[in-house]
């Protein structure tokens, strides 16, 4: 029977007084302003995150490097949790009490070691380790990819989804469901009738006998925790990143989990999708990226997007 690391080996180690003191010396109130002005800053996020002031960020939205993805990183699934926890600790300290960390992460099939050929449990180990650190696990979303690339995957179907985990710093995180409601599929006359029906009458045609009147008055339906966004959305814009995030995915979570005028940071900014989208929707945004080529591409995209954004006419992303 294959052996896996026991949970205690991947749990987060609480900060000591010494750690807190060392980190406090590194924190710079002006650093966040510099990052937001720059857009994407080149450097190691594990170092740069520790310079952020405590309780200063509304939303960390990130898609960290894939485990064992040879074109982008060499982080083996066996040590992925250990690798990620320092980033998570620094983000926890910088997040507001009403703030969140939302992580897009993909489950992988182990390519070597005792679990070769099996789904590796590092994603689930990471969730438990983050809870142990103090992050509150709010929800698990599924990013459904309707145009996932087919191929040979052994005794399994093609990968058509990825996880998106919502963690919060405090017990009352900001979350605006109304910002991401979706239109109901009904004819115009039926929608008009339900808007006028202020008595909350039941209508079985609305869906299994449930009263849909109130949600119609709110402007749409609860989208649920399955978010369908084509994987190759950004390729139409010439994005030069091997694992570019779809703008529609970033748009959904930025609108839902960060208030207008709030601060969004992406510690693995890549070609800048999170920053571009967050700025479009009226948030202050910045990010960190280790690779110089991606920083240049992100800077180009941010400048181009700002130039195309007309005053009074905010751009919308329909992913």
Q: What is the pLDDT of residues 205-239, one digit of tens each?
A: 444 344 444 545 566 889 999 999 887 544 434 55
Query: In the predicted model, what is the mean pLDDT of residues 117-143?
Result: 96
* Range from 21-30, 98-107, 207-216, 261-270 carrying the lowest mean pLDDT: 207-216
- Do 57 and 193 lie in one domain? The reply is no
Share of the chain above pLDDT 90, in %: 53
pLDDT tier at 252, thresholds 50, 70, 90: very high
Burial (CB count within 10 angstroms: exposed 0-12, middle 13-18, buried 19+), residue 38: middle
Nearest-angstrom CA–CA distance, 175 and 187: 30
Residue 68 confidence (pLDDT): 75
Residue 307 confidence (pLDDT): 60
- Do 237 and 210 lie in one domain? The reply is no
- Do 82 and 163 lie in one domain? The reply is yes
**How far apart, in Å, do the first and last CA atoms of the chain sit?**
44
Closest C-alpha among 193, 236, 194, 240 to residue 215? 194
Of 192, 221, 250, the residue that ends a domain is 221
Nearest-angstrom CA–CA distance, 85 and 63: 14
What is the domain range of residue 299? 7-14+39-177+225-308
Residue 23 confidence (pLDDT): 53
Residue 32 confidence (pLDDT): 96
Residue 313 covered by a domain: no
Q: Tell me the average pLDDT of the chain.
A: 80
Closest C-alpha among 165, 13, 5, 135 to residue 76? 5
Residue 316 covered by a domain: no
Asked whether 283 and 264 are in contact (CB, 8 A), the reply is yes
Nearest-angstrom CA–CA distance, 229 and 236: 14
Residue 200, pLDDT above cutoff 70: no
Dihedral sign (CA 283, 288, 68, 81) = negative
Q: What pTM, to 2 d.p., does this model score? A: 0.79
Residue 33 covered by a domain: no
- Do 173 and 266 lie in one domain? The reply is yes
Q: What is the pLDDT of residues 262-273, one digit of tens each?
A: 999 999 999 999
Q: β-pairing, 161-168 with 95-105?
A: antiparallel
- Do 207 and 77 lie in one domain? The reply is no
- Do 79 and 196 lie in one domain? The reply is no
pLDDT tier at 198, thresholds 50, 70, 90: low
- Residue 165, domain CATH: 3.40.50.150
């Amino acid at each position: 029977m294959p052996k896996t690391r026991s949970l205690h080996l991947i749990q987060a180690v609480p900060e000591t007084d010494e750690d807190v003191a060392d980190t406090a010396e590194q924190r710079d109130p002006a650093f966040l302003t510099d990052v937001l002005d720059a857009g994407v800053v080149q450097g190691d996020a594990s170092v740069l995150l520790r310079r952020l002031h405590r309780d200063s960020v509304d939303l960390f939205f990130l898609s960290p490097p894939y485990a064992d993805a040879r074109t982008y990183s060499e982080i083996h699934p066996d040590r992925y949790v250990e690798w990620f926890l320092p980033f998570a600790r620094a983000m926890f300290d910088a997040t507001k009490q009403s703030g969140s960390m939302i992580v897009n992460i993909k489950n992988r099939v182990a390519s070597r070691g005792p679990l070769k050929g099996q789904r590796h449990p590092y994603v689930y180990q990471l969730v438990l380790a983050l809870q142990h650190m103090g992050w509150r696990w709010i929800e698990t979303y599924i990013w459904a990819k309707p145009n996932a690339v087919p191929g040979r995957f052994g005794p399994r179907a093609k990968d058509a989804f990825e996880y998106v985990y919502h963690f919060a710093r405090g017990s009352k995180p900001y979350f605006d469901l109304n910002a991401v409601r979706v239109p109901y599929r009904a004819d115009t006359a039926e929608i008009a009738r339900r808007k006028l029906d202020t008595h909350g009458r039941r209508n079985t045609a609305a869906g299994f006998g449930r009263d849909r009147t109130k949600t119609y008055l709110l402007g749409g339906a609860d989208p649920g925790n399955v978010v369908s966004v084509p994987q190759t959305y950004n390729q139409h814009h010439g994005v030069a990143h091997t694992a570019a995030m779809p703008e529609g995915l970033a748009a959904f979570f930025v609108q839902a989990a960060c208030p207008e005028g709030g601060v969004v940071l992406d510690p693995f900014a890549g070609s800048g999708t999170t920053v571009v989208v967050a700025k479009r929707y009226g948030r202050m945004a910045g990010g960190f990226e280790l690779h110089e080529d991606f920083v240049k591409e992100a800077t180009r995209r941010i400048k181009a997007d700002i130039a195309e954004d007309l005053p009074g006419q905010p751009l919308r992303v329909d992913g």
